[in-house]
Structure 1
Amino acid sequence: MTMKLKFTKALVSALEAEEGKARTYYYDSALPGLVLSITKNGVKSYIAYRKVKGKPVRVTLGRHPDLTVEQARKKAQKAIAEMVDGVNPIHKARAEQKSKLTLREVYADYLKYRGSKLKASTIAQYENALDKHFVDWADSPMVEITRDKVSERHLQISKKSPSAANKVMKILGALFNFANGQYEKGNGESMFSDNPVKRLSHTRTWNKDVVRENKIETSDMKDWFAAMRALTESSFYGQRAAGFYFQLVLLHGVRRREMAKLKIEDINFKQKTFTIQETKSGRPLTLPLTDHARDLFKGQIKRRKKGYVFASERSKHGYIDSFNYLMDKVIEETGIQFTYHDLRRTFTTVAESLDISQYALKSLVNHSTSGDITARYVIADVERLREPLEKIQAFMLDKALD
């Protein structure tokens, strides 16, 4: 039975839920569509009710007595007017809330749904993009990031590093693609139907990928190794660690984070091997431990028995993830330009100059051989890699003494 009454403060205060019912509804005779809901516990709420496109919609306006009858009628009139126009106020409110989503909030949802599929290094790249290149956008509504802003920011970053500009914009584009499928309006349309990063494709302003060919020349190895030895003799831990780290990366051709994340427990001094557990390929890499590398590792870890080889209490990761400032210092003092990847490139270049077999080289640097049918049948035992690795290292160390 529909109970229609003209709501007043006294009447609403006196009304109670019908016995035996979880919720009782009373309807305002002064304003059709304004409903008072009373639970069996006595909680009273004002609701605006009307069908929108044939479906019933109930919009909660507020509780009594926090909301007066007059205030409830005004809010109900507004909600009912929207519903008459075919707008669902609930969907509208949700859309408005989502329209305020910040870039950082979208990234948090991205991690929530896709984080388990991402590598730690990929997550680090996303966070670096937000904290360094998009720091002024991160906590603002994502819808405010326009195509013009994307073009301007891409150009700005490109002046310092064209490759970095491309990378961070691809990250931004990925977040917009995620938002396109994740958030929608009440009518089912995407809230982020336009990806502003597409401007770079439409205007063909992506920077051209330049294949780097820089490496440490053999004629520079003596000065380079001398600079590294000087770092290892420093009284400062960070400088000593950098000296050992750069040498170990060069002498094994491993990727920067593969060496940075290496743990003491993964070095087997007895069997003369060490294993990099986290690699780009996802396959653990076990390498021979040469005598020279053994001395470098022992020089770094001293008497420690466990933990990261390049441990750091100050780093949130627990290990030193960047030696950039010391790299710049060495470059300034020696004039020898190099990056982390240049060390890896130098290793492979030396290996090729010594006619190290492709199977051995690919195994040493952990490159995939999936495209090589013959290579699938060649099992690179760690001991078979010892001789070629010693040969590569001996060449570079000999040059360091020339």
Structure 2
Amino acid sequence: MPQIKISNSRVGKIVPPTPKPDGKPQHVFYRDDQLQGFGIRVTSNGTMSYFVEKRVNGKNKRVTIGKHGPITPEQARKEAQKLLGQMSTGTDPVVEKRERKIQAVTLRESYNAYLLARKGLKPNTLHDYKRCIEGALGDWLDKPLTSITKDMVEKRHSKLGAKSHARANNTMRVLRALFNFASEKYESQDGKPILTSNPVDRLSKSRAWYEVRRRQTLLTPTQLKPWYEATMLLNQETTRDFLHFILFTGLRRSEATHLTWEYVDFKERTFLIPDTKNKEPHRLPMSDFLEDLLKRRFLMAEKVWVFPSPVTNGPLKEPRTALTRVAELSGVEFQLHDLRRTFITIAESLDIPAFALKRLLNHKFSNDVTAGYIVPNTERLREPMQRITDYIREKVEAENDDLG
């Protein structure tokens, strides 16, 4: 390498090398004739970068200081002296920089990495994560994970709990998952995790989690008739059919809203939900009521969605205004998931076998070895589905001939 005195006047006179014959950039290294190990790298495109080079623990190490321009030769020389001094004691600046970067990983960086790693998360799950991390913990996003303490977690959990026990618990569960993810992803140079503990664990050890009882509300047999009559007064036919569809199928909201006509088979009298909570496709038979509903909707279909949005090209969103209207008209307070609970409760009251009920709800048989050898047959579910439909119709048709 040629030697020069790296100064402002001398560096300004350096002529960049010509590119290689194939057009690729060429580069030349100039060493400082006063400070051993200090130099500047010049490329054919005119870029010049300061560096230091020295053997550390038997290996040659080259560390870039920065580009000429933003950094003057004098500033680069001072930084070079500092780095060469560290390297003389066996410290590798590259490793040190990497260690500092790892130690400074923020909640935001870990959160983004977690979302990239968890491919296929459903929109509802992503929305929930966003509410927890970007909403409830938004002021922590740019804090290093290593700076988030057990005391901070405990205080924030208590603060969130003053408004909602469920949200406080859910937020900390998501945070716990992020810390567990980070402890596996981010390691120091010697392979040890940068996080030695999960600060959310304090909530378990101190028994600080809030007791949140699972919602058990549903439509009782006597509420079915006024609820149904109220839905018939809705101006939006799509919303009305959507509410009926959930009640008569027990599907989750997102499963029903994302149903498209390509998965409705009128010949076989079935419909398929390809994307479900447990990742397994869910095929159900049509009862007579569901067949009539779907055929009527198909005749006036203009979009791919069975229940399209009236304002966008996408599927119907949760019709909150309609839910409020039905509650006001019927005197029955309810949420969409209450309709699924109603379907389940009716099925159990009719003594539908557990295997058929689980298949209707698309629940997994996690502890049943025998179930793994049984191939689901949609036809076997047709009779139970029709029995549930008949029960609901019996309750809503009493002195009411409006049901089609």
TM range (shorter): 0.7 to 0.9
8 Å CA contact retained: 2:52, 2:80 = yes
| Residues 1:27 and 1:314: Cα distance change in structure 2 (over 3 Å) | farther
* 1:341 maps to 2:340: no
1:289 aligns with 286
| Percent identity of paired positions between Structure 1 and Structure 2 | 37
8 Å CA contact retained: 1:287, 1:385 = yes
Deviation at residue 358 of structure 1 after TM alignment: 2.3
Cα-to-partner distance string for 1:292-337 (whole Å, 9 max, x where unaligned): 223433565662254222223767x932343345434544554423
2:384 aligns with 388
TM-score under structure 1 normalisation? Answer: 0.82
1:243 aligns with 240
* 1:213 maps to 2:216: yes
What CA distance in whole angstroms lies between the structure 2 residues aligned with 1:95 and 1:372? 48
What CA distance in whole angstroms lies between the structure 1 residues aligned with 2:327 and 2:106? 40
| Residues 1:174 and 1:85: Cα distance change in structure 2 (over 3 Å) | farther
1:33 aligns with 37
| Residues 1:143 and 1:320: Cα distance change in structure 2 (over 3 Å) | farther
What CA distance in whole angstroms lies between the structure 1 residues aligned with 2:46 and 2:305? 61
| Residues 1:64 and 1:129: Cα distance change in structure 2 (over 3 Å) | closer
What CA distance in whole angstroms lies between the structure 2 residues aligned with 1:160 and 1:325? 24
Cα-to-partner distance string for 1:136-157 (whole Å, 9 max, x where unaligned): 4445555554333322332333
* 1:359 maps to 2:363: no
SS state of the match for residue 232, structure 2?
A: helix
* 1:182 maps to 2:181: no
SS state of the match for residue 115, structure 1?
A: coil
Number of residue pairs the alignment of both structures matches: 393
TM-score under structure 2 normalisation? Answer: 0.82
Equivalent of residue 266 in structure 1, options 229, 242, 263: 263
What CA distance in whole angstroms lies between the structure 2 residues aligned with 1:65 and 1:360? 74
Equivalent of residue 78 in structure 1, options 79, 82, 85: 82
Equivalent of residue 256 in structure 1, options 242, 253, 256: 253
Deviation at residue 354 of structure 1 after TM alignment: 1.5
1:248 is matched by which residue type in structure 2?
F
Deviation at residue 230 of structure 1 after TM alignment: 1.9
Deviation at residue 284 of structure 1 after TM alignment: 1.9
Deviation at residue 40 of structure 1 after TM alignment: 6.5
Question: Which is worse superposed, 355-364 or 305-314?
Answer: 305-314
Question: Which is worse superposed, 246-255 or 137-146?
Answer: 137-146
8 Å CA contact retained: 1:92, 1:186 = no
* 1:397 maps to 2:400: no
8 Å CA contact retained: 2:288, 2:386 = no
2:226 aligns with 223
8 Å CA contact retained: 1:92, 1:185 = no
1:88 aligns with 92
Question: Which is worse superposed, 198-207 or 390-399?
Answer: 198-207
1:107 aligns with 111
| Residues 1:314 and 1:195: Cα distance change in structure 2 (over 3 Å) | farther
Question: Which is worse superposed, 121-130 or 362-371?
Answer: 121-130
1:169 aligns with 172
| Residues 1:294 and 1:92: Cα distance change in structure 2 (over 3 Å) | same
What CA distance in whole angstroms lies between the structure 1 residues aligned with 2:9 and 2:174? 59
Question: Which is worse superposed, 300-309 or 256-265?
Answer: 300-309
What CA distance in whole angstroms lies between the structure 2 residues aligned with 1:327 and 1:347? 18
8 Å CA contact retained: 1:6, 1:28 = yes
Superposed CA RMSD in Å reads 3.5
What runs of 5+ residues in structure 1 fail to find an aligned partner?
none
What CA distance in whole angstroms lies between the structure 2 residues aligned with 1:108 and 1:311? 32
Question: Which is worse superposed, 207-216 or 169-178?
Answer: 207-216
8 Å CA contact retained: 1:28, 1:34 = yes
Cα-to-partner distance string for 1:47-92 (whole Å, 9 max, x where unaligned): 1223444443322123446543322212212323443455433334
2:6 aligns with 7
Question: Which is worse superposed, 5-14 or 56-65?
Answer: 5-14
Equivalent of residue 47 in structure 1, options 29, 39, 51: 51
* 1:318 maps to 2:321: no
Deviation at residue 183 of structure 1 after TM alignment: 2.6
8 Å CA contact retained: 1:370, 1:376 = no
Cα-to-partner distance string for 1:148-170 (whole Å, 9 max, x where unaligned): 33223323333444334333322
| Residues 1:341 and 1:64: Cα distance change in structure 2 (over 3 Å) | closer
8 Å CA contact retained: 1:3, 1:27 = yes
| Residues 1:300 and 1:172: Cα distance change in structure 2 (over 3 Å) | farther
| Residues 1:302 and 1:203: Cα distance change in structure 2 (over 3 Å) | farther
| Residues 1:64 and 1:103: Cα distance change in structure 2 (over 3 Å) | closer
What CA distance in whole angstroms lies between the structure 2 residues aligned with 1:82 and 1:241? 71
8 Å CA contact retained: 1:61, 1:75 = yes
What runs of 5+ residues in structure 2 fail to find an aligned partner?
399-404
Deviation at residue 120 of structure 1 after TM alignment: 5.3
8 Å CA contact retained: 2:309, 2:317 = no
8 Å CA contact retained: 1:33, 1:48 = yes
2:206 is matched by which residue type in structure 1?
T
2:277 aligns with 280
8 Å CA contact retained: 2:55, 2:61 = yes
